[in-house]
Amino acid sequence: MSNLNKLDFTALEVSGRNYLKWVQDVKLHLTAKNFHLAIKDEMDNPVGEVEKATAIIFIRRHIYDALQTEYLVEEDPQALWVALANRFDHQKDIFLPEARHDWHNLGFQDFKSMNEYKYEVCRIRSLLKFCNKTLTKEDLLEKTYSTFSATNIVL
C-alpha cells in the first residue's frame, strides 16, 4: 500500500467498486500524457515500447497491491486494460436494477426537505442515464405529483 501515497487519483480497489470512475481517470490522464494509444486496440497506430512501458507503469501504480500481484504477468498495457475490463466492467448491470428499484420506491413524503428529494432524484436520474435509460421531464413531474398525499394535491 505504500505506492498509494502520492497518486493522481484514487486507485482501483480489489472489489472493483470504483472501477467506472477509475477508468475515466486513467483514460483522461493517459490522454493528457499522450499515452492513450497504448490501451487502445488499434493496429493503425503502432505504439513504441517506451509508451507501452510508461502506460503500464501508470496503470499498475493506480491499482491496489493485490491486483498488481494478480496481473503481474501482464506486460502489455492493452492486455492489462482488457483483463481488468473483463473482471470489473459489469457495473452497469448492477446499477440498473438498483436505480429502477430506487425510482419505483421514491416518494416525496419520505424526505425532510425539498433539497433532499431533489438530490435523490438527481442521483437516480444520473444512474439511469449512465445505464442508457433516460427520464423525461414528464416522468419527473409525474413521479413528484404521484407521491404527494391526497390532502396536499390541492396545494
Q: Is the pLDDT of residue 28 over 80?
A: yes
pLDDT given at position 61: 92
pLDDT given at position 58: 92
| C-alpha radius of gyration, the chain, whole number | 21
Q: Which 3 state secondary structure label does DSSP give 71?
A: coil
User: Tens of pLDDT along 94-128?
Assistant: 888 998 999 998 887 788 888 998 899 899 998 88
Of 88, 120, 135, the position where a domain reaches its end is: 88
User: Tens of pLDDT along 61-100?
Assistant: 999 999 999 999 999 999 999 999 999 888 778 888 998 9
Q: What percent of the chain has pLDDT over 70?
A: 88
Of 45, 70, 88, the position where a domain reaches its end is: 88
Q: Is the pLDDT of residue 48 over 90?
A: no
- Give me the DSSP letters along 16-29: -TTHHHHHHHHHHH
What band does 35 get if pLDDT is binned at 50, 70 and 90?
confident
The number of beta carbons lying within 10 Å of the beta carbon of residue 103 is: 18
How buried is 46 (Cβ within 10 angstroms: 0-12 exposed, 13-18 middle, 19+ buried)? exposed
**Both 111 and 51 in a single domain?**
no
pLDDT given at position 1: 45
Q: How many Å from the N-terminal Cα to the C-terminal Cα in the chain?
A: 57
**Both 64 and 98 in a single domain?**
no
Q: Which 3 state secondary structure label does DSSP give 70?
A: helix
Total domains in the chain come to 2
**Both 37 and 81 in a single domain?**
yes
**Both 38 and 77 in a single domain?**
yes
Q: Whole-number mean pLDDT of the chain?
A: 84
Q: Which domain holds residue 56?
A: 2-88
pLDDT given at position 108: 77
Q: What is the pTM of this model?
A: 0.67
Number of alpha helices (DSSP H) and beta strands (DSSP E) in the chain:
7, 0
**Both 96 and 117 in a single domain?**
yes
